[in-house]
């Protein structure tokens, strides 16, 4: 296991290097640059601005300078805001992690539950309705669902707030950047429940990117496991159905589901860009979206690099968890 973990950690470096190169090149082949976004008055001013920002240097020189600073823990300075990217990242990352974790919990809980129920009630109206709902969920664009729910539950009915992490008239002292944690630390239940209420709608919308996939995968995996001989033996021994399902079948059925959960983190991080933009959620998604529009290279490169790092390490944790879910699996 130690050898496997070490090999995977060594593989992280070329993966992140490749991500950084692709992001760096793609940002610079797009029309326009940060100097044009700053609106220089004349062509001469534009050239002087590009020179001051280092944009007139060859691409490999620009990349080498940026990579050298990254290796020292410096993601650069925002071209537009003139603030360190790392400082802005510390402000934005907790909001994105909070909404991704909440959406993951909602998606996994509902998706896996629906999959189990559908497998146990195969070909019933519950199964047919659940799988139809999963098909609709997979086909539904997340931005369309977000706009519909905002109109139906925030604008028309005023059940949920349409944006932000807390009501405008409420404030909380920032300790961790995680709103739920900071409101709990404040000792004010009203702040905590207000933060939860703001989180429900965007997290639910984002969870729909993984919920249908997990429901369908859990159902198919459970159906396959329930046909196995050891499940028939457990039933023949007189075990209760709940013990057969949850003690014997579910643990083995969850192996492919765990893999997909790790892989779907990328979908959640990608979906967070749209979700945060629509709900004005002050996380990395909205931050990155605005940086792309203004060609703020250091922010985009830093945000993509951090997102890729999170994604790679989560998948490493998923791979390691395999050995604990199934003792038959050994890494060599």
Mean pLDDT over each residue of the chain, to the nearest integer: 83
Tens of pLDDT, residues 186-216? 888 889 999 999 999 999 999 888 888 888 8
For residue 324, the model assigns a pLDDT of: 65
Tens of pLDDT, residues 15-47? 888 888 888 888 877 776 677 666 656 677 777
Tens of pLDDT, residues 73-122? 888 888 888 888 898 888 888 999 899 999 999 999 998 899 888 888 88
For residue 203, the model assigns a pLDDT of: 92
Q: Confirm if 287 and 88 have CB atoms less than 8 A apart.
A: yes
Tens of pLDDT, residues 306-329? 888 888 888 777 777 766 666 666
> Taking 60 as the threshold, does the pLDDT of residue 330 lie above it?
no
For residue 197, the model assigns a pLDDT of: 92
3-state SS class at 298: helix
For residue 323, the model assigns a pLDDT of: 63
φ/ψ of 168, rounded to 5, equals -60, -30
Question: Could you tell me how far CA 295 lies from the centroid of its own chain?
Answer: 23
Of 20 and 265, more confident: 20
Q: Confirm if 275 and 282 have CB atoms less than 8 A apart.
A: no
Provide the H-helix boundaries in 142-240. Answer: 142-149, 179-186, 189-207, 211-226, 229-236
> Taking 70 as the threshold, does the pLDDT of residue 123 lie above it?
yes
For residue 329, the model assigns a pLDDT of: 60
Q: Dihedral of CA 289/295/296/302: which sign? A: positive
């Amino acid at each position: 296991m130690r050898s496997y973990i070490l090999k995977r950690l060594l593989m992280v470096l070329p993966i992140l290097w490749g991500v950084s190169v692709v992001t760096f090149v793609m940002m610079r082949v797009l029309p326009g640059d940060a100097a044009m976004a700053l609106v220089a008055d004349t062509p001469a001013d534009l050239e002087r601005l590009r020179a001051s920002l280092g944009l007139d240097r060859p691409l490999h020189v620009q990349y080498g300078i940026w990579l050298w600073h990254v290796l020292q823990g410096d993601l650069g300075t925002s071209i537009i805001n003139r603030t360190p990217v790392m400082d802005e990242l510390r402000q934005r990352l907790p909001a994105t992690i909070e909404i991704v974790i909440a959406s993951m919990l909602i998606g996994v809980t509902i998706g896996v539950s629906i999959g189990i129920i559908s497998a146990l009630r195969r070909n019933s109206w519950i199964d047919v309705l659940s799988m139809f709902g999963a098909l609709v969920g997979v086909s539904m664009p997340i931005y369309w669902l977000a706009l519909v729910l905002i109109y139906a539950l925030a604008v028309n009915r005023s059940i949920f707030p349409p944006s932000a992490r807390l009501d405008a008239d409420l404030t909380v002292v920032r300790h961790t950047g995680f709103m739920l944690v900071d409101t709990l630390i404040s000792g004010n239940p009203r702040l905590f429940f207000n933060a939860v209420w703001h989180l429900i709608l965007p997290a639910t919308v984002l969870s729909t990117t993984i919920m249908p996939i997990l429901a369908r995968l859990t159902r198919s995996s459970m159906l396959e496991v329930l046909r196995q001989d050891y499940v028939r033996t457990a039933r023949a021994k007189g075990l209760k159905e709940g013990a057969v399902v949850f003690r014997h079948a579910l643990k083995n059925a969850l192996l492919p589901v765990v893999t997909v959960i790790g892989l779907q983190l990328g979908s959640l991080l990608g979906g967070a860009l749209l979700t945060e933009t629509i709900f004005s959620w002050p996380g990395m998604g909205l931050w990155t979206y605005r940086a792309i529009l203004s060609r703020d290279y250091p922010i985009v490169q830093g945000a993509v690099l951090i997102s890729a790092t999170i994604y790679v390490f989560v998948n490493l944790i998923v791979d390691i968890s395999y050995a604990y879910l199934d003792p038959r699996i050994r890494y060599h």
